[in-house]
Structure 1
């Protein structure tokens, strides 16, 4: 089954259902079904390796026992299927008995369904959708690969359903940041606003080549930690980790900002933190109270920067995506955070990104900040990633790709100042003293701004007339040539 046919067929089925309204609900409807399909495949693996394995899902509710249509006329459909899903499947999975001894591989089912919704009202269409999903054969390598592509496409579609800065981070960005942070097996990588798990799966991909034995594989599975506040990204993220063979995903549904930052113990800190926090949002005063007064901000992203300061281990490394507003903002919290990054941590590199990296879903211009908990910064290197030759902007059909970071990679390993053709610095080092003297304004090595001359009304009219006369002359010239050609032929 091709990627295109799966996506278009699932959309067509759900568009015919009166209960599903818009792309956000279509994605939410699809992903809980995909989760159960994926989970059932993982359980089959666990059963193969452990004859004593017992599912947390009651036998009648396991995907294999109700969702598979054997084409014998026995598969549930129509009102019978709707009643089963709405009155048995969902209530049971939302109330599964779990306690502190329940493995994460099992308790995750309840976590997923506590905030999932069943939107479809037509049981026949629901059966069609289930049958479509069942065409994905997890025992077939080619379909496994295809499902990975399908899932990646679904994650990208989540962008259009997001708001307040909540969107899928392009894979090129997550891969580049993890590559630069270079986590090693045995280190723990955390994302406190993990969304669909992009940074975590980029970490797993990075670590995969380091796995050489069974012990390494276990370290691989324990290497990522995530928290996500919103239910749909959380469901997508959990499924994403299961697909990457993380059998007990340490991926939790909750608000990372709900706890007082002063209460974190050393064993709750991480060697590596990578994240793209939501920005543009706000938190309640009760949440802001979890932070020192100097860091309290009305901007959610600022609070996540503060959180990292308290959860990054000594000599740990961090990379974070932040909007331009953080760089030039002079509000007390922003200035205090930037001062802390310079004086107590080692903010060493800021990569400026084109404004269209997240297009068309947001025009917010972003930056990648890299720092370490290794003492005061001596200064910050800035590097501006320019649009590739021939690009006016990145777009949905022409997204940012890994190779667009290649020049930055080369520069990273051989740092030097670069001045572009019109005299603007593309890469430059600014000392800690220079940044402090500028009151921690980090809006440096930015993109050249086009300057447009503003003409008076009289000058504008004169310029317009001149250009029109020039164009009329060119048109008259072409007409004269055509008439001359016609005269010759006649």
Structure 2
């Protein structure tokens, strides 16, 4: 978590934008992101310069003639010169980063606008941002998450608000592979949180992906895909991907549920938290999805989409509202039946409602399934997450992350990685298996409450005669104290 000091600086930056006339929260985040991007590009240049000094061949971001565009140079300029250089040279430079205007990054940066209105505002923000430590990856992620938490405008989808530790849990469970066959997509990508977490997992667990020439080319150009209908979030997501080492991120403007989405059997993994908007215009929904589930509810349509765009053998981990697990409408039963009978439902992780606070108190779950087209669901693994390492109120204060009672996430990852060891678990435990036959008998209900058994602690009460005698004694004492009180009052 970021410290109070860093939060105070971010709040101060926010206040400077607000008083300076930039009041749209998304615009503020976008402008801050541009500046953070400029700072990180300078840092990447320094890293590449060091590698070059060690004899490695590295592609430089800035030429010698462009060194005045680097953060470490312009941050010391006087306000007027800084404003001129940043607005007229640095900003156009980052819009055409790499010089190839056909890349998806350049495409979504093409309509980016520099909205910082005055030299004084820019100088104050640059000074404050420069004072925030950004070397630690977790600090950088926490800072970004804190910025995104400030968005309260309507019309924004829910993906970018997914808590980072929940995203990391899901990615750790899915274990992306360092393979030229792996193609990972988030059809509601927002700021690309799931994709970035996948890149971090691969860099940490499979460093060969950065050194093997064929793997690296695939990693940089054709492993990650993200789609969204918000061009601002696409720009933020594209910059986020570039800063995390993806040279040519595949982020595109697309309504994933519409007829214009051509994807079929294309991806090996889906990581997503699709929006729970309730319903939408049915006429805009792809006919192939309506054949699987006839509904206007986006959370059900996205599940149908996931089944369509996965390759056979492909896996999906997605966050869904609890209603998907037990909803009694024909559409709810239809999509659950489709996944369970025609594919393989692997796991249901029930999460506490506080996970998404302060944005929303909705109860959610993680569904993990594999596309098979021939069924294969034998038994489903359930886990009842009771704690995620943070208080479940609006404050979301970090608790003891190493304490199982306060943080179930390490246990979830460990148990999911060793499902063989779960076979003997009881329904009174926090995790257990349920056979597909039992799920079918219960109308394809996959809510954990349907199957979990509560443990009731036996309480030994005193015999009734003893309880009566105790009550009589209490009544006698009360009467005596009342009489004493009455005497004191005269």
Q: 1-side partners of 2:91 and 2:184: how far apart? A: 34
Which residue of 7, 12, 15 corresponds with 2:10? 7
- Report what 1:201 is aligned to: 196
Task: Please tell me the root mean square deviation across aligned C-alpha atoms, in Å.
Answer: 4.3
- Report what 1:171 is aligned to: 164
Q: 1:191 to 1:303 in 2, by over 3 A?
A: same
- Report what 1:350 is aligned to: 348
Task: Give 3-state SS (helix, strand or coil) of 1:225's partner.
Answer: strand
1:64-463 matches, within 5 Å, as 64=70, 68-71=74-77, 75-77=81-83, 85=87, 102=101, 104=103, 107-114=104-111, 116-133=112-129, 143-146=133-136, 149-162=139-152, 165-186=158-179, 187-208=182-203, 209-212=205-208, 213-215=211-213, 216-222=215-221, 223-259=223-259, 263-266=262-265, 269-290=266-287, 291-374=289-372, 375-376=374-375, 377-387=377-387, 395-398=395-398, 403-412=407-416, 413=418, 414-416=421-423, 418=425, 426-445=430-449
Q: 1:232 to 1:389 in 2, by over 3 A?
A: closer
Unaligned runs of 5+ in 2: 455-470, 486-490
The answer (yes or no) to whether the contact 1:3–1:150 under 8 Å persists in 2 is no
- Report what 1:486 is aligned to: none
Q: 1:388 to 1:300 in 2, by over 3 A?
A: closer
Task: Give 3-state SS (helix, strand or coil) of 1:227's partner.
Answer: strand
- Indicate the larger mover: 34-43 or 370-379: 34-43
Task: Give 3-state SS (helix, strand or coil) of 1:292's partner.
Answer: helix
- Report what 1:487 is aligned to: none
Q: 1-side partners of 2:98 and 2:282: how far apart? A: 32
Q: 2-side partners of 1:409 and 1:97: how far apart? A: 38
Q: 2-side partners of 1:71 and 1:275: how far apart? A: 43
The answer (yes or no) to whether the contact 1:419–1:425 under 8 Å persists in 2 is yes
Q: 1:53 to 1:383 in 2, by over 3 A?
A: closer
State TM-score, norm by structure 2.
0.73
User: 1:72: Cα distance to partner?
Assistant: 6.0
User: 1:166: Cα distance to partner?
Assistant: 4.5
State TM-score, norm by structure 1.
0.73
The answer (yes or no) to whether the contact 2:37–2:243 under 8 Å persists in 1 is no
- Indicate the larger mover: 195-204 or 35-44: 35-44
The answer (yes or no) to whether the contact 1:349–1:382 under 8 Å persists in 2 is yes
The answer (yes or no) to whether the contact 1:352–1:367 under 8 Å persists in 2 is yes
How many residues of Structure 1 are paired with residues of Structure 2 in the alignment? 433
Unaligned runs of 5+ in 1: 137-142, 450-465, 481-490
The answer (yes or no) to whether the contact 2:68–2:74 under 8 Å persists in 1 is no
User: 1:350: Cα distance to partner?
Assistant: 0.5
